Amino acid sequence: ETGVTQSPTHLIKTRGQQVTLRCSSQSGHNTVSWYQQALGQGPQFIFQYYREEENGRGNFPPRFSGLQFPNYSSELNVNALELDDSALYLCASSLKEQGSDGELFFGEGSRLTVL
């Protein structure tokens, strides 16, 4: 059973650029959630994808967007990068059954630095 994998592990961008982060969910999981973890802070919910549609969103602006693919993998896109977007971006997969969310299994994250 493969776990959650994320790519790239580290990247550096400049303000105003766009970034795409990728996530492969754990085998058997149908739901992907994205969290932003600023240095020294707890993860903050960005959004969740289920059945290829956004299924809930946290307090993040529209320049944060995502996709989920038929194989349940996912992308997080951030446009017009700002310095405050520098953070560890965590992908977590879970199995949603009968409307109830299962446990979150996190990947190791993508460390984004915006200069």
Partner 1 sequence: QQQVKQSPQSLIVQKGGISIINCAYENTAFDYFPWYQQFPGKGPALLIAIRPDVSEKKEGRFTISFNKSAKQFSLHIMDSQPGDSATYFCAAKRNNFNKFYFGSGTKLNVKP
**Which residues sit at the interface with partner 1, rule CB under 8 A?**
4, 31, 33, 35, 40-45, 48, 50, 55-56, 58, 90, 92, 96, 99-101, 103-109
Q: Which is nearer to partner 1, 18 or 113 (CB)?
A: 113
Minimum Å gap between C-beta 76 and partner 1 is 14
Minimum Å gap between C-beta 14 and partner 1 is 24
Q: Which is nearer to partner 1, 82 or 108 (CB)?
A: 108
- Please report, for residues 16, 19, 36, 57, 73, the alpha-carbon distance to residue 33 in angstroms, rounded to integers and kept in the order given: 25, 17, 10, 10, 11
Minimum Å gap between C-beta 3 and partner 1 is 9
Q: Which is nearer to partner 1, 75 or 101 (CB)?
A: 101
Q: Which is nearer to partner 1, 36 or 78 (CB)?
A: 36
Ramachandran class of 98: left when φ > 0, alpha when ψ lies in -120 to 50, beta otherwise: left
Terminal CA-CA length for the chain: 37
- Please report, for residues 28, 38, 56, 87, the alpha-carbon distance to residue 41 in angstroms, rounded to integers and kept in the order given: 30, 5, 22, 10
Q: Are 7 and 107 in contact (CB under 8 A)?
A: no
